[in-house]
Every structure is written in C-alpha cells, then in structure tokens.
Structure 1
Amino acid sequence: MTATLRTLAFRVAFYGLSVPIVLATPISALFGRRAMMAHAHAWARVHRVLTRRLLGIRVRVEGVVPDRPVFYAAKHQAMFETLELQLILHGPAMVLKRELTRIPLWGWAAQRYGAIVADRDASAAALRSMMRDARALTAQGRSILIYPEGTRVAPGERPPLQSGFAGLYRTLGLPVVPVALDAGRVWPRRGAKRPGVVTIRIGDPIPPGLPRAEIAARVHAAINALDI
C-alpha cells in the first residue's frame, strides 16, 4: 500500500471512530474528571493503534517519566504528539489555544478533561486566568504540558519561546521537563504520512527559580535537541 493510500485509510478510520467517541463524552462527564480522563485516553489509544497498523509509525521513548507533578515543555511538529504524549506522560493537563476550545463539543470536553486556555492577546486578565487554572490542576496532582514555541512547526524551525511559558514557570514553581521529538519527519503538515520511528526524548528536570533568560535558553535547546 502506498503512503497516500495509507494516509487516506488512516483518516477515514480515525475520524470515523473519533466522531462517536467525542459524541459520547457527555456520558463520561456525568462520572467526573477521572472518567473523562479514561475516555480521552481511550481515544488516544485508538489513535496509537491506527498509526501503528495503518501508517507504520512507531515510537521510541528515551528518558524517564517523572513520578510526581512537573511542568512539561515539548516540541510541537504534528498532531501526532498531542495524543501520544497524553499516554506517555500519564495525562498531563495541556495548555491549549482558545480557538481550539471553541470547537463544538470537543472544546467543552477538553476543558472538562483539564485543558488550560491560553489567549493569543496575552492580556493581563487572560494570563491571570491561565495561572489560576494551572495552579488548581497541579494542586490536584496533575502535571502541566505546554508547547512553549506556541505553534506547530516544521522540522528545522526553532521559533523563540512564547511569554506564557515564563509566566507559568514562575507561578508553578515546578521542575521543567523538556521533551524533544521528531514527529515532523514522518508526519508532515501536508501530504502523505510516512512509516518510520518517532523518537520522543524526555530530558532531565530543570529546577524552578532560574532567571527568565536562563530557563528559556535551556528549554529551547533541550526541546530542539533532535532537530538536527
């Protein structure tokens, strides 16, 4: 089967299965956030199975996942890691652009799951709301996951970190665990997906309390470690 046919088969299967899964989220919501997390992870496992069987994409994880709440900062090259990292990192609460939370039903479900909403305008009120939500989730024992470059980028692109990362780092007081990955090699933004191995490298924790310039430089270097 060619890469184009594989990609078409994946899209039909994944989105076809995603519709009933998302439509069923209000039922899970009746049983609380734990049930919502189990529901979301079931969706992520469907994605994992289909990427392996239909696209021939597998994952190699390097490093150790911490056993306590941390602040994850990850590279973002494809939709692939947004679901895969939820399984690998044991369900961190993810910072999402407000536009995504406006998707009918899915956006509501994401917020029930524990998404932290980030506004592009970065107003003082929006930042305070983001910090408040993040603190509440860490108090529940959840880790936080952010894509600090602010958007999905192609391999080789290394934009600077967005201001929201530094604010959360200062507010949370948690170690930062950088996550490098190379999903964009096999999962381009446009065109057919290619079989291969995606490496996800979980870096060593970086302590809280560092100056803004230092933490930004260390995280930026670490999340781009595979982008060579």
Structure 2
Amino acid sequence: MIVLLRNIVFAIVFYGLSVPIVLTAPVSALFGRRAVMRHATAWTLFHRWAVRHLLGIRVRVEGERPAGPAFYAAKHQAMWETLELQAMLDAPAMVLKRELADIPAWGWAARRYGAIVVDRDAAAAALRGMMRDAEAAKAEGRSILIFPEGTRVQPGETPPLKPGFAGLYRLLDMPTVAVATDIGRLWPRKGLKRPGTATLRFAPAIPPGLPRRQAEAAIHAGMNALEEQDGRGDAPL
C-alpha cells in the first residue's frame, strides 16, 4: 500500500506540474537556446526531487566523467535517465527521434534547445542534417548524449548498437563515455515504481579514432556493465 501511495502521489505531483512546464517550453524558446536550456534543466531538477522524495529512489553514481565536453552513450531502461542525464551532464545536446521532434510547438522548442534529430528511415540528405546538428553542438562546447540501442529495453536485454552511434563517434572526434544504469529494476515499463537505490555508472572514456568494431565493443560493454549484477540493496520505505 505504501508503494502504491508513493506512485499515486508522484503521478499527481510530477505529471500534474509537468504539463504546464512542458507546454510553456516554447515560450522560453522564443528567448533563445540558453533560455530553453534553463527551462529544461529546471524541469529535470524538479523530476530529480520528485523521484527522490516521492518515490524514494536514491541514486548511486559511480565512475568519473571527463572534465570537458564528451560524447555520452547511455543505457535506456526508463524515462528516468533521459531526464536525470540532462541535468547531470549540464544540458547536453540529445539525439532525439524524429517522431518527438515533429510534435507541434514542443518539437520546435526541442530544436531550439539543440536536439539532434535522427530519422531511422532517413535519406542521405537527412542524415547529413543530423551530422551538421551534431557538429554545431560540439562547436558550442556542449556534450552530446545518445541512447544508441534505439529504444527502451528491459533489465538483462543487451541489443546491438544502432549504426548512428558509429557515425557520430567518427564525426565528433570526442572522448566517448558509456553510461550504464540498473534503474529498470525499480522503474519497470509496466507496474509500480519501487523505492530503492539505482546505480548510474560512467565507464572510463575511450579516445576518438578507434576502429569501429573496437569502439562499439567497448561502449556496448560499458553500457551493459550492470546487467548481470544482482543483490543491490533497496532503500527503506
């Protein structure tokens, strides 16, 4: 009953207040990229507060990140890491599916934020557009974040990386960091979110310029470093 109550309160508070926050993002976007970046960060910090205090989910961060901008490739098990990493990585340019970028008004705000739009069925011209967006983000001194498995996966699933990762890795010429998480244990696709401790682990950065297979193998292993670990203790209710 306590877990159910936590979920109900979280849904009312977080999603209830998120509606006006998201709907007003285009207004912030009118004032430029920095304004919409601050708007997005405020939302993600609110999400962090709600997850910690309403759901009772704590976060253990392991590993170290590069001092400057980097290319981050993260595991995707829940909505949680898409928002948490936005705040933790200081508003990185995020690779976004075209379906999201095509949402009226919100999609425009996402592009103003600096989202890098990817179309899985794109022609060569559209792919070149994605590469231009990525280069522009790098020129602004921003980190870039991708979820290279292409979709949300269940704990234990380790699908191969989508081809877009290799193209961006080669183009960006940046230190590249794999990010693993086990949030899916506590935040299932269906069912109740449970209190406990989630881990976010940053693998050591790999340098630019590695052969494609070597780079993909290193990042895939780093992203899935927590997939076979069990027995992490839950936090008290």
TM-score by length of 2: 0.92
Q: List aligned pairs for 1:26-45, cutoff 5 A.
A: 26-45=26-45
Q: List aligned pairs for 1:17-96, cutoff 5 A.
A: 17-96=17-96
| Alpha-carbon separation, structure 1, partners of 2:3 and 2:102 | 32
Any idea what SS the aligned residue of 2:121 has?
coil
Q: Quote how far apart the aligned CAs of 1:48 are.
A: 0.8
- The more displaced of 148-157 and 6-15 is 6-15
Q: Quote how far apart the aligned CAs of 1:36 are.
A: 1.0
Any idea what SS the aligned residue of 2:55 has?
coil
Moved over 3 A (4+): none
| Alpha-carbon separation, structure 2, partners of 1:81 and 1:153 | 12
Report the equivalent of 1:151.
Answer: 151
How many residues align structurally?
A: 228
| Structure 2 unpaired stretches of 5+ | 229-237
Q: List aligned pairs for 1:170-185, cutoff 5 A.
A: 170-185=170-185
Q: Quote how far apart the aligned CAs of 1:122 are.
A: 4.1
Report the equivalent of 1:135.
Answer: 135
| Alpha-carbon separation, structure 1, partners of 2:30 and 2:105 | 15
| Alpha-carbon separation, structure 1, partners of 2:27 and 2:38 | 12
Please tell me the root mean square deviation across aligned C-alpha atoms, in Å. 1.2
TM-score by length of 1: 0.96
Report the equivalent of 1:225.
Answer: 225
| Alpha-carbon separation, structure 1, partners of 2:29 and 2:115 | 14
Summarize deviations over 1:193-222 as a string: whole Å, max 9, x none: 000111101111101111111111111001
**What letter is aligned with 2:98?**
R
| Alpha-carbon separation, structure 1, partners of 2:177 and 2:186 | 24
| Alpha-carbon separation, structure 2, partners of 1:101 and 1:2 | 37
1:161 aligns with 2:157: no
Report the equivalent of 2:189.
Answer: 189
Summarize deviations over 1:36-76 as a string: whole Å, max 9, x none: 11110000011111111111011111122322111101110
Q: List aligned pairs for 1:89-108, cutoff 5 A.
A: 89-108=89-108
| Alpha-carbon separation, structure 2, partners of 1:6 and 1:107 | 31
Given that 1:96 and 1:116 are in contact with CA atoms closer than 8 Å, whether structure 2 keeps it comes out as yes
Report the equivalent of 1:124.
Answer: 124
Distance 1:179 1:158, change over 3 A: same
**What letter is aligned with 2:75?**
K
- The more displaced of 17-26 and 200-209 is 17-26
**What letter is aligned with 1:55?**
L
Identity %: 67
